[in-house]
């Protein structure tokens, strides 16, 4: 069993299935007045519980996390939901339980049918309220589950709502597993801020887990081990203790400069996929965002995000990060990142195919909409634009010409935008690395993408586990290209960063520091570890 890790770490505990509500259906009431009274009582009980959860969350996780319950409180008393429930009770003599189920289900379906990924996730919030109100109405909701045992709990469900997480005593909650995805769900955000190892998108395989089973979540490797032996538990207890001690000790590096002992400084930035990562960037004290993979904004939808959608998302990120620099990589779609509505079609070699900048240059409307949104959002912060998969100078110049065209259009429309946004390229195709010297005459900056640079230099598919042993970014051929780019940047005064996974590997960092790199960018959780390593260098 495996899935997508949304919070790393190791958890050992017993499975607690989040109770699913049974279907109530249409049930007639004998006394509608009594049902209305029950509904009123249930809503006020829910209100009190939510207020308490809000206070508890504020104290344990912070004000921002507690806002989830503020939103739930508002939804709970929203007349557009409560009034139809009352109407069903009064006009159709339905029980409070039956009427609530119908109206909450309709609201959930309405949110689920929306295209906007963020709004879609709100269905989860309504589900949470439904579960709470119906739980109170049916007398099932227990205030504090598992109060009589000291075992750690691993919550398991098809979907886990924020209150499911918070109903469990914080000290006992060790981890979370969800069958479905939901990176932008509040549950994932909560797991991150509470530092609870969590894996989403685990699929139906979770059904094999029985209530009370001992399990281990290996959130470093993305593995779930069910019914582990004593020896395996002992092994993971050790790993867990080591991981936690290390993580706690790393907090000491917050606020410290990322400099070697002889005073060479590098900027340590974070890679992000959307606004939900802002917190992790701040929490881990990253000095900026070296790679915002904007293609994630285009995924899980049925049509491209509008310019307004994008301006809102980009502005949120820039404002959230204050004056920290943010490198927006324009949509890098194709390869393993499929977007059905873009009609890229099936290709024999998608990694060598119609993707990223190749697609954008031939679909100017999509490309220009994104550039326009970035330039407008850029008045709120420190944005740079980077083009992916550049293989020739001609491509960069074409992309740059689109930026100029968009600026003219914004000027003509009298819209506010940032005129001085730096334009750079990802160096992830060997030809770009080989021609670094020529590119340096045109671009404002380079960011080396070792994930692709390695696969293209060594002709090793980065996803094929059969040949994973051949995929090595420390291969001398890859290193020689990296060295060439960093040194060329130095000589010609062009800023150079690295945003591929190799940027967090101490072996690579040591070399990069010697060659004179300006920035390394990585998963937010690796930032403090890398700062510690940089500070240990001579």
Active-site positions?
186, 499
d(CA 314, CA 28): 50
x/- site string to ligand PEP, residues 19 to 38, per CB under 6 A?
A: --------------------
| 526 scored as a contact of ligand PEP (CB under 6 A) | no
| 500 scored as a contact of ligand PEP (CB under 6 A) | yes
Least Cβ distance, residue 508 to ligand PEP (angstroms): 12
Residue 9: CB atoms within 10 Å: 22
Structure tokens belonging to residue 369: 């909409």
Structure tokens belonging to residue 535: 């500070």
| 518 scored as a contact of ligand PEP (CB under 6 A) | no
Candidate segments 120-128, 139-147, 262-270, 450-458, binder of ligand PEP by CB under 6 A:
450-458
130 binds, among ligand PEP, Mg ion, none (CB under 5 to 8 A by kind): none
d(CA 112, CA 13): 33
x/- site string to ligand PEP, residues 457 to 496, per CB under 6 A?
A: ----------------------------------------
Give yes or no for a contact between 182 and 121, defined as CB atoms under 8 angstroms apart.
Answer: yes
Structure tokens belonging to residue 178: 């969800």
x/- site string to ligand PEP, residues 278 to 297, per CB under 6 A?
A: -------------x-x----
In terms of CB distance, is 35 or 428 closer to ligand PEP? Answer: 428
Candidate segments 44-52, 164-172, 365-373, 449-457, binder of Mg ion by CB under 5 A:
449-457
| 335 scored as a contact of Mg ion (CB under 5 A) | no
Give yes or no for a contact between 89 and 96, defined as CB atoms under 8 angstroms apart.
Answer: yes
| 450 scored as a contact of ligand PEP (CB under 6 A) | yes
3-state secondary structure of 122: helix
Give yes or no for a contact between 197 and 216, defined as CB atoms under 8 angstroms apart.
Answer: no
d(CA 178, CA 199): 6
Helix ranges (H only) for 61-185 are 63-76, 79-92, 96-112, 117-137, 162-167
Give yes or no for a contact between 196 and 176, defined as CB atoms under 8 angstroms apart.
Answer: yes
Give the DSSP H/E element, type plus range, for residue 292.
Answer: strand 289-293
Give yes or no for a contact between 218 and 7, defined as CB atoms under 8 angstroms apart.
Answer: no
Q: Site for Mg ion (CB under 5 A): which residue of 452, 518, 519, 529?
A: 452
Provide the b/e sequence for 450-485 (b: ≥16 CB within 10 Å): bbbbbbbbbebbbeeeeeeeebebeeeebbebbbbb
x/- site string to Mg ion, residues 410 to 429, per CB under 5 A?
A: ------------------x-
DSSP string, 275-322: GGGHHHHHHTT-SSEEEEEGGGGGSSSSSPPPHHHHHHHHHHHHHHTT
d(CA 458, CA 402): 33
Least Cβ distance, residue 450 to ligand PEP (angstroms): 5
Least Cβ distance, residue 429 to Mg ion (angstroms): 9
Residues 291-350 interacting with ligand PEP (rule: CB under 6 A): 291, 293, 332
Least Cβ distance, residue 450 to Mg ion (angstroms): 9
Q: HEC string of 374-388?
A: HHHHHHHCEEEEEEC
Nearest to 291 by CA among 436, 497, 430: 497
| 497 scored as a contact of Mg ion (CB under 5 A) | no
Q: Site for ligand PEP (CB under 6 A): which residue of 3, 9, 304, 449?
A: 449
| 57 scored as a contact of ligand PEP (CB under 6 A) | no
| 451 scored as a contact of ligand PEP (CB under 6 A) | yes
Nearest to 124 by CA among 133, 135, 142, 111: 111
In terms of CB distance, is 424 or 500 closer to ligand PEP? Answer: 500
In terms of CB distance, is 118 or 354 closer to Mg ion? Answer: 354
Number of chain residues interacting with ligand PEP (CB under 6 A): 10
3-state secondary structure of 427: strand
| 452 scored as a contact of ligand PEP (CB under 6 A) | yes
Residue for token pair 């000290």: 171
Least Cβ distance, residue 332 to ligand PEP (angstroms): 6
In terms of CB distance, is 18 or 435 closer to ligand PEP? Answer: 435
Least Cβ distance, residue 359 to ligand PEP (angstroms): 14
Number of chain residues interacting with Mg ion (CB under 5 A): 3
Binding residues for Mg ion (CB under 5 A): 428, 449, 452
- Which residues here bind ligand PEP, judged by CB under 6 A? 291, 293, 332, 428, 449-452, 499-500
């Amino acid at each position: 069993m495996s899935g997508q890790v949304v919070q790393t770490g190791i958890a050992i505990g017993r499975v607690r299935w989040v109770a699913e509500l049974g279907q109530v259906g249409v049930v007639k009431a004998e006394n509608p007045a009594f049902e209305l009274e029950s509904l009123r009582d249930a809503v006020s009980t829910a209100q009190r519980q939510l207020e308490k959860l809000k206070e508890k969350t504020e104290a344990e996780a912070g004000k921002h996390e507690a806002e989830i319950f503020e939103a739930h409180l508002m939804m709970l008393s929203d007349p557009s939901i409560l009034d139809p429930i009352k109407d069903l009770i009064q006009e159709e003599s339905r029980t409070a339980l039956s009427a609530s189920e119908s109206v909450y289900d309709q609201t959930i379906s309405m949110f689920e049918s929306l295209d906007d990924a963020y709004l879609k996730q709100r269905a989860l919030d309504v589900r949470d309220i439904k579960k709470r109100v119906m739980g109170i109405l049916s007398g099932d909701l227990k205030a504090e589950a598992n109060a009589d045992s000291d075992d750690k709990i691993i919550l398991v469900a098809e979907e886990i709502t924020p209150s499911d997480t918070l109903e469990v005593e914080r000290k006992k909650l060790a981890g979370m597993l969800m069958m479905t995805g939901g990176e932008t769900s509040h549950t994932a955000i909560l797991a991150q801020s509470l530092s609870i190892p969590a894996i989403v998108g685990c699929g139906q395989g979770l059904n094999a887990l029985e209530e009370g089973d001992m399990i281990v979540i290996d959130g470093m490797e993305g593995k779930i081990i069910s019914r582990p032996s004593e020896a395996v538990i002992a092994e993971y207890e050790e790993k867990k203790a080591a991981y936690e001690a290390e993580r706690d000790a790393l907090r000491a590096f917050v606020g410290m400069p990322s400099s070697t002992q002889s005073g060479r400084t590098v900027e340590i930035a974070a890679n992000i996929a959307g606004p939900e990562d802002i917190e992790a960037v701040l929490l881990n004290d990253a000095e900026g965002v070296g790679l915002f993979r904007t293609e994630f904004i285009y995924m899980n939808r049925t049509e491209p995000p509008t310019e307004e959608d994008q301006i809102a998302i980009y502005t949120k990120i820039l404002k959230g990060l204050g004056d920290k620099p943010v490198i927006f990589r324009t949509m890098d779609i194709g390869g393993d990142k499929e977007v059905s509505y873009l009609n890229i079609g099936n290709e024999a070699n998608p990694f060598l195919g119609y993707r990223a900048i190749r697609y954008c240059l031939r679909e100017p409307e999509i490309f220009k909409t994104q550039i326009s949104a970035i330039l407008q959002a850029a008045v709120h912060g420190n944005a740079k634009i980077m083009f992916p998969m550049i293989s020739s100078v001609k491509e960069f110049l074409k992309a740059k010409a689109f930026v100029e065209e968009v600026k003219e259009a914004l000027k003509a429309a009298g819209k506010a935008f940032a005129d001085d946004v730096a334009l750079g390229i990802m160096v992830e195709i060997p030809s770009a690395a080989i021609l670094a010297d020529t590119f340096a005459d045109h671009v404002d900056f380079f960011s080396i993408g070792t994930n692709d640079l390695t696969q293209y230099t060594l002709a090793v598919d980065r996803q094929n586990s059969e040949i994973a042993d051949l995929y090595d970014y420390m291969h001398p051929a890859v290193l020689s290209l990296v060295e060439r780019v960093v040194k060329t940047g130095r000589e010609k005064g062009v800023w150079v960063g690295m945003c591929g996974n190799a940027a967090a590997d101490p072996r690579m960092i040591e070399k990069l520091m010697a060659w004179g790199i300006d920035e390394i960018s990585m998963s937010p959780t690796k930032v403090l570890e890398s700062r510690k390593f940089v500070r240990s260098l001579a």
